């Protein structure tokens, strides 16, 4: 991860703790062969990624078609929601010039070979794969709402053509067949000897072995065999928060947005997949919620009936760059996601106490988007830079780290007030 260059951070920054001359393990040579970049924090173990926390919300849809709609529409809001929830500015004892953990995990579990990365000609492997198994989705699923257009899937999709043909021969539509066969371009990460032989009519273990190790910003989850569980979508970009209140606010807002998407069938949040990839990269940057622009659909109520099919220029005009504040709270030119959620709430019978609680969550989301409330990443960065022991050299010492953990624990348990983080009156 790129180092945060503070006033006294060396230029170039070279991590003095890297054991360049050590030869205890085969991987030791990687640092001196170029894996440890100047001006970057060197994280040489998978645990730096898989040790990260996050907030994931699983939503159950009424049927497979509505699950497909949720999958597509929620994928487009993942980056802006991640920027609101940013909480990861410190890695391996240094301040980083990023606020989120997503790319750390993506690199930590990126097991592509040199052939699969396109660095060598294919001989042993089958595919050149453009992304880590942890990343944004590569293809939309489409649904019966009529909003999907082929040009939204503007990334060249890599998929197992034999599996795709098998699915197509058994009545699976092209978009779903490509989604599933795309999962099968990767090897399984973990195989248990006792689970090798399975009856696939009663167990989905073989499928889940691959499905559950393709970590994307949303995940489409079919029902397990012989189970009352329905079709689900997992929303995965959010960072875990300091307090229960913050985690509840993000969870409730995500659920309400999902319900609004299902209730208002004319909502259309589609943007091209490649624009979604750009959004996710932008969401990582320091203070992205305040400083970045995200690609988003300009008119989310438009049915685009005036555009001719395949008219790429007309479709491109439907996408604009907006701030997180504009996307979440709205502007004279854009309705905003919070007003949509509030319109949905006005159609639901709620007790006064429940609506008041929900309104407090929405006010928190609004504050994160307009900058009146700090992200956890900004709060942590400010704490470190305000600490008496900090030398403005990007180093987060053990003493600073200890005091930081104590402060966050005090906030989480209501012993320390942080209205700049959670808002007035929201102690936990």
Beta-bridge partners for 103 = none
Percent share of the chain, pLDDT over 90: 79
* Peptide bond connecting 117 to the previous residue in cis, omega within 30 degrees of 0: no
> For residue 397, what pLDDT is reported?
97
SS3 of residue 117 by DSSP: coil
pLDDT at 313 over 60: no
Element (H, E) at 215: strand 215-216
What's the rounded Cα separation, in Å, for the pair 185 and 398?
43
Distance CA 56, CA 33 (A): 37
Residues 204-215 have a mean pLDDT of 87
Give Cβ neighbours of residue 46 (< 8 Å, ≥ 6 apart). 108, 109
Q: What is the pLDDT of residue 306?
A: 43
Q: Which residues does residue 34 pair with via DSSP β-bridges, in sequence order? A: none
Average pLDDT of the segment spanning 201-218: 88
Helix H or strand E segment including 183: helix 174-183
Yes or no: say if 115 and 356 are a contact pair by the CB < 8 Å rule. no
User: By C-alpha distance, which of 365, 391, 178 is closest to 289?
Assistant: 365
pLDDT band at residue 427 using 50, 70 and 90 as cut-offs:
low
DSSP β-bridge partners for residue 235: 57, 218
120: number of Cβ within 10 Å = 13
Mean pLDDT of the chain: 92
Residues 396 and 41: beta-carbon distance below 8 Å: no
58-62, 242-246, 313-317: the lowest-pLDDT one: 313-317
Reported as a single tens digit per residue, the pLDDT across 39-59 is 999 988 888 887 888 999 999
- What mean pLDDT comes out for the span 176-203? 88
For the whole model, what pTM was predicted?
A: 0.93
Which token pair is 48? 């730096």
How far apart (Å, rounded) are the C-alpha atoms in residues 84 and 362? 13
The pLDDT value recorded for residue 169 is 97
pLDDT in tens, 378-389: 999 999 999 999
Give the pLDDT mean for 287-298: 97
Say which residue, 195 or 64, is predicted with more confidence: 64
Q: Please give the structure tokens belonging to residue 233.
A: 């979508």
DSSP H helical ranges for 310-351: 312-316, 324-329, 337-345
CA distance 35 to 54: 27
Band (pLDDT 50/70/90 cuts) for residue 190 is: confident
Q: Nearest 10 degrees: CA dihedral of 162, 167, 170, 176?
A: -150
pLDDT of residue 26: 87
**Per residue in 146-188, pLDDT tens?**
999 999 999 999 999 999 999 999 999 999 999 999 999 998 8
Query: What secondary structure does DSSP assign to 369-406, as a single string?
Result: HHTSS--HHHHHHHHHHHSTT--SSSB--HHHHHHHHH
- In angstroms, the CA 203 to CA 208 distance is 9
């Amino acid at each position: 991860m790129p180092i945060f260059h503070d006033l006294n951070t060396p230029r170039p920054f070279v991590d003095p703790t890297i054991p360049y001359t050590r030869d205890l393990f085969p991987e030791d040579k990687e640092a001196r062969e170029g894996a440890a970049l100047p001006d970057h924090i060197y994280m040489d173990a998978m645990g730096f990624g898989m040790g990260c926390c996050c907030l994931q919300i699983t939503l159950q849809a009424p049927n497979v078609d509505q699950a497909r709609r949720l999958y597509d529409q929620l994928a487009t809001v993942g980056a802006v929601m991640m920027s609101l929830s940013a909480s990861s500015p410190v890695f391996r004892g240094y301040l980083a010039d990023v606020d989120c953990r997503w790319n750390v995990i993506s690199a930590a579990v990126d097991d592509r070979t040199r052939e699969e990365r396109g660095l060598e000609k294919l001989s042993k492997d089958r595919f050149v794969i453009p992304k880590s198994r942890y990343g944004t989705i590569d293809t939309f699923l489409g649904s019966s709402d009529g909003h999907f257009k082929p040009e939204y899937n503007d990334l060249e999709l890599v998929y197992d053509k034999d599996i795709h043909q098998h699915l197509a021969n058994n009545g699976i539509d092209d978009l779903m067949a490509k989604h599933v066969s795309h999962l099968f371009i990767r090897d399984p990460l973990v195989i248990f000897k006792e689970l090798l032989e399975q009856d696939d009519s009663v167990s989905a273990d073989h499928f889940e072995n691959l499905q559950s190790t393709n970590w994307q910003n949303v995940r489409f989850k079919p029902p397990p065999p012989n189970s009352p569980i329905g079709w689900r979508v997992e929303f995965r970009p959010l960072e875990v928060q300091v307090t229960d209140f913050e985690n509840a606010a993000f969870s409730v807002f995500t659920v309400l947005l999902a319900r609004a998407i299902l209730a208002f069938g004319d909502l259309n949040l589609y943007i091209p997949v490649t624009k979604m990839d750009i959004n996710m990269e932008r969401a990582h940057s320091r203070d992205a919620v305040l400083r970045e622009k995200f690609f988003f659909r300009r008119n989310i109520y438009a049915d685009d009936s005036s555009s001719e099919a395949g008219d790429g220029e007309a479709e491109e005009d439907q996408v604009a760059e907006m701030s997180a504040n504009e996307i979440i709270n709205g502007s004279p030119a854009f309705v905003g996601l919070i007003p949509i959620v509030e319109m949905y709430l006005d159609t639901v019978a709620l007790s006064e106490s429940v609506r008041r609680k929900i309104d407090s969550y929405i006010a928190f989301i609004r504050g994160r988007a307009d900058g009146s409330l700090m992200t956890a990443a900004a709060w942590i960065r400010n704490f470190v830079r305000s600490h008496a022991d900090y030398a403005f050299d990007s180093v987060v010492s053990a003493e600073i780290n200890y005091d930081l953990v104590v402060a966050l624990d005090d906030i989480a348990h209501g012993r320390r007030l942080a209205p700049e983080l959670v808002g007035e009156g929201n102690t936990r």
